[in-house]
Amino acid sequence: MKRIIWASIIAFAILFLFFFLKPVFSGQIILNSVIFKLGRLQIRWYGVLIASGIMIAYMVARTRIKAENINEDQVIEGLFYGVIAGVVGARLYYVVFNWDYFSRNPSDILKTWNGGLAIHGAVIAAMLVAFLYTRLKKNVTFGFFQILDIVLMVFPLAQSIGRWGNFFNYEAFGKPTNLPWKMFVPVQNRPPMYRNYEYFHPTFLYESIWDLIVFTILLVYTKKYRKNFGETSALYMILYSIGRFFVEGLRLDSLYMGSFRAAQVVSIIMIGLGILLFAYFRRKGSRAIPSSS
């Protein structure tokens, strides 16, 4: 059955690549970020894909939640708070590093549907909520690093899916390129200094693929090799940050700390911290639920 499912996924990916992605990348098809409108209500691909990523990731996480005898109602409650905090944190992070613009256009601060969510802000906010939940919730059935391992194990899957929201918004693309997989970007979506260029690095795709690889590694590691709680979380910090560091170097819409790209600075910090935490958890962490459970 699993082989049939994977064969179907691969077949769909091939069809998607040749019959949709290829003409979009060549400029034969121009995407619309809005799925449909109902009066003032607009349903956009950006929001739908982020929501879909969260739901699919949670469905995958349920297997681990049950294996570790965690109260699922508590997880859902914590997830509710975590998603809200994550969106707020992601937007706040983005606004802070683009304050020159938002200080002049404060009405745009809440317009998240136009893009502008920084993943590092989401991770920090969600981790803070998870920490507070495990400390303040009575009779909680899981520890902070235990639930963090599960969340960060599936989070790259949600990220991989959510990145396609950037695809429909024509954002998070990279420098001009003539590589075979170059992506056409409409002139109205190009930075002013690149208006005369048509094709760019599809950096959203690079990160989506890397996130999927990270998810696969973390899933296998958690099931077969994790010894103590916290190891998966530390590995996420290391692996995701490695990919993000290199992809960020190609992007044209980076947030900056002075003359440095903020995401690259944060990635370096997360890699270093992740290595230290992994070494610590591997030696002295709390014993994880056996992989055979």
pLDDT in tens, 5-14: 667 767 777 7
For the chain, what are the domain ranges? 31-284
Residue 122 has pLDDT above 80, yes or no: yes
**Residue (of 254, 213, 205) closest to 236 by Cα position:** 213
The number of C-alpha atoms within 13 Å of 202 and in the hemisphere containing its C-beta is: 22
Give the phi and the psi of residue 11 in degrees, each rounded to 5. Answer: -65, -40
What is the predicted pLDDT for the residue at 293?
A: 42
- Residue 292: pLDDT above 70? no
Taking only the tens place, the pLDDT of each residue in 29-68 is 999 999 988 877 888 998 899 999 999 999 999 999 999 9
* 158 pLDDT more than 70: yes
pLDDT at 176 (0 to 100) = 97
Which of 92, 242, 222, 239 minimizes the C-alpha distance to 151?
Answer: 222
Residue with tokens 């879909």: 52
Q: Which helix (H) or strand (E) holds 161?
A: helix 144-162
- Predicted TM-score (pTM) of the model is 0.88
